A and B are shown apart, each in its own frame.
Chain A
Amino acid sequence: MRKRSIVPIVYILFLMLPIYWLVAMSFKTTNEILAGFSLFPQTFTLEAYRTIFTDPTWYWGYINSIIYVSLNTVISIAVALPAAYAFSRYRFLGDKQLFFWLLTNRMAPAAVFALPFFQLYSAIGIFDTHLAVALAHCLFNIPLAVWILEGFMGGVPKELDETAYVDGYSFPRFFVTIFIPTIKAGVGVAAFFCFMFSWVELLLAKTLTAVEAKPIAATMTRTASSAGYELGLLAAAGTLTIIPGAIVIYFVRNYIAKGFAMGRV
């Protein structure tokens, strides 16, 4: 047993190395970075973090990203819940075809849609708003949320629904007060995935924003190209983008194994 645990340990070390390097880099001064190789920061500095927390173009990047990611998660889950219920409980005309079509939207390369998205969202006048990015990310997050939730709902016996109707519950009341609490692990996992894919996506988020709703990741690319590659600053901003994901994953840690199987083990 002890011999076997070497594999996960080595794998986790491999995962942590580049992250360590990014974090270490963020505490170094620019001079130290350019002077040569050092395994640990020699002159520990918080200068890069100070720049980010005092410059509005930097910290607004974070706020913008968090706003559109949260908005997207709420929209995706809200519309996916009834749809997933319909797919898991009823047969209706074209249900299988519709389900497959939803999934095909995950296969479309974002690069294909970048320009048409820009034109569409400019035409309806919401270019450079948080709503634009939140709606655009629905393209791949709603199908995923429906898929995950349908998997979890399939595991809930139909007797639950029938008993509730016999007890005189109306559908909305049953759905909100009984059904959703029953699958709350599934809702948590679906919300986690929506958060994750919206947080990590950049191509569409960058295409649909200019100033007002610019995401943090786009602020970083600008820094990388225009300010002569300030590696320390870039590393600090990168380190900060890891934190929201780490917080969210901590909340779903006990459901994560089942959640990754989309409830279909």
Chain B
Amino acid sequence: MKTENQKAWFFVLPVLVLVAFNALIPMMTVVNYSVQETFGDNLFFWEGLTWFEQILTSERFHAALGRQFLFTFLILVIEVPLGIAIALSMPRQGPWVPVCLVLMALPMLIPWNVVGAMWNIFALPDIGLLGYTLNHVLGINYDMTQDPLAAWVTIITMDVWHWTSLVVLLSYAGLVSIPDAYYQAAKIDGASNWSVFRYIQLPKMKNVLTIAILLRFMDSFNVYTEPFVLTGGGPGNSTTLLSIDLVKIALGQFDLGPAAAMSLIYFSITLFVSWLFYTLMTKDDLN
């Protein structure tokens, strides 16, 4: 079906040049830093794999990585089922559909630091709507600047608020592509709601759900701005996720070598897990 044509390379050349310029040169800089030590003045000394060993054996890295995996795990476990449930309960047609879609997409179009600032204002214990309601109306003692659990609940809720719509919109796109005939056939067979979901809707949503899970994994694993603006990684280190820790080392302490080594380890983990997800979820297609 597709024809073999090596001249197609000319079509992809501009993309290749632009992306390579942005990806390869900075990546080589990072690789360079990761094997050297510098004391400023552009003086560099060969260090070999010292930084990699240091990072891989450091407790601080293990702790940040653990928090990062916990965060991403909670995000996927909450957002994916919730997104599917909301998509299933949405109307398939009518004047309300575009209204719903536009309102749901709105959080995704807000700059990430504004999302953090907005949730900060929302959660302030005495003057924020959420903080005030919890503390003074419901009588729950809530202060995310003091209590690590409250901080975690807040960053998770914020991410659910920010990104569940992505899963909703993708699942919804999968659902509306199912022809009515499928449902009629299911009705004639007397299929239950669960079997309609399990054997008609879920398989039809599989492609888009693969995209949703991959995007949610990559973005939540690399998340930086929103939790940083909201909690600054605190209280203590309780919400210092991997990228927040990385920026602290790179720009806060200016330890370029360890930061670069950490970047490469971080990137490899993201790449490996994404590949794993992708392979697992598309395995059936190959057979």
Scoring A18, A36, A242 by chain B CB atoms within 10 A of each residue's CB, the highest score goes to A18
Given contact pairs A107-B270, A136-B22, A221-B113, A21 touches B2 in the complex (Cβ within 8 A): no
Q: Which residue of A lies closest to B17 (CB)?
A: A79
Given contact pairs A139-B22, A242-B106, A264-B211, A98 touches B12 in the complex (Cβ within 8 A): yes
Q: How many angstroms between the C-alpha atoms of A98 and B15 in the bound complex? A: 10
B1 close to A158 (CB less than 8 A): yes
A241 close to B15 (CB less than 8 A): no
A79 close to B15 (CB less than 8 A): yes
Q: How many angstroms between the C-alpha atoms of A37 and B1 in the bound complex? A: 65
B194-249 contacts to A, CB under 8 A, are 207-208, 211, 218, 221-222, 224-225, 229, 243, 246-247
Q: Which residues of B contact A92 (CB under 8 A)?
A: 4-9
A91-139 contacts to B, CB under 8 A, are 91-93, 95, 98, 102, 104-117, 119-120, 135-136, 138-139
A224 close to B117 (CB less than 8 A): yes
Q: How many angstroms between the C-alpha atoms of A80 and B11 in the bound complex? A: 9
A21 close to B121 (CB less than 8 A): yes
B110 close to A245 (CB less than 8 A): yes
Chain B binding surface, main DSSP class: helix
A90 close to B3 (CB less than 8 A): yes
Q: From residue A17, how far is it (CB to closest CB) to chain B in Å?
A: 7
B251 close to A114 (CB less than 8 A): yes
Q: Which residues of B contact A86 (CB under 8 A)?
A: 8-9, 11-12
Q: Which residues of B contact A90 (CB under 8 A)?
A: 2-5, 8
Which of the four size classes fits the interface of chain B? Answer: 35 or more
Taken residue by residue from 228 to 265, chain A's Cβ proximity to chain B (1 for < 8 Å, 0 otherwise) reads as: 00010011001001100110111001101111111011
Does A181 interact with chain B (Cβ within 8 Å)? no
Does B149 interact with chain A (Cβ within 8 Å)? no
Does B148 interact with chain A (Cβ within 8 Å)? no
Q: How many angstroms between the C-alpha atoms of A256 and B105 in the bound complex? A: 9
Does A199 interact with chain B (Cβ within 8 Å)? yes
A36 close to B103 (CB less than 8 A): no
Q: From residue A95, how far is it (CB to closest CB) to chain B in Å?
A: 8
Q: Which residues of B contact A164 (CB under 8 A)?
A: none
Q: How many angstroms between the C-alpha atoms of A17 and B103 in the bound complex? A: 12
Given contact pairs A15-B165, A264-B207, A217 touches B113 in the complex (Cβ within 8 A): yes
Q: From residue A245, how far is it (CB to closest CB) to chain B in Å?
A: 3
Residue of B2, B109, B127, B169 touching A91 (CB-CB under 8 A): B2
Q: How many angstroms between the C-alpha atoms of A138 and B26 in the bound complex? A: 14
B113 close to A202 (CB less than 8 A): yes
Q: Which residue of A lies closest to B167 (CB)?
A: A260
Does B64 interact with chain A (Cβ within 8 Å)? no
Residue of B26, B119, B166 touching A113 (CB-CB under 8 A): B26
B76-119 contacts to A, CB under 8 A, are 85-86, 89-91, 98, 100-114, 117-119
How many residues of chain A are within 8 Å of chain B by beta carbon?
95
Does B182 interact with chain A (Cβ within 8 Å)? no
Does A190 interact with chain B (Cβ within 8 Å)? no
Q: How many angstroms between the C-alpha atoms of A120 and B15 in the bound complex? A: 19
Scoring A37, A114, A216, A220 by chain B CB atoms within 10 A of each residue's CB, the highest score goes to A37
B5 close to A17 (CB less than 8 A): no
Does A19 interact with chain B (Cβ within 8 Å)? yes
A18 close to B119 (CB less than 8 A): yes
A109 close to B2 (CB less than 8 A): no
B110 close to A242 (CB less than 8 A): yes
B110 close to A241 (CB less than 8 A): yes
Q: Which residues of A contact B3 (CB under 8 A)?
A: 89-91
Scoring A238, A250, A258 by chain B CB atoms within 10 A of each residue's CB, the highest score goes to A238
Residue of B101, B129, B173, B247 touching A265 (CB-CB under 8 A): B173
B109 close to A8 (CB less than 8 A): no
B269-286 contacts to A, CB under 8 A, are 270-271, 274
Given contact pairs A8-B90, A92-B8, A105-B23, A196 touches B15 in the complex (Cβ within 8 A): no
A-B contact pairs, 18 of them (CB 8 A): A15-B107, A18-B122, A21-B121, A21-B122, A34-B127, A37-B132, A92-B8, A95-B8, A105-B22, A111-B222, A111-B250, A112-B263, A112-B266, A116-B26, A120-B29, A221-B113, A261-B174, A264-B207
Interface residues of A (CB under 8 A from B): 4-8, 11-12, 14-22, 25, 33-34, 36-37, 39, 75, 79-80, 82-83, 85-87, 89-93, 95, 98, 102, 104-117, 119-120, 135-136, 138-139, 142-143, 146, 158, 196, 199-203, 216-217, 220-221, 224, 231, 234-235, 238, 241-242, 245-246, 248-250, 253-254, 256-262, 264-265
List the 8 closest A-B pairs by CB distance, nearest first.
Answer: A245-B109, A116-B26, A261-B173, A86-B11, A116-B29, A86-B8, A90-B8, A109-B222
Given contacts A12-B103, A202-B111, A249-B102, 12 further A-B contacts (CB under 8 A): A11-B86, A15-B165, A17-B122, A108-B23, A109-B266, A114-B250, A115-B259, A200-B110, A248-B109, A261-B208, A265-B173, A265-B207
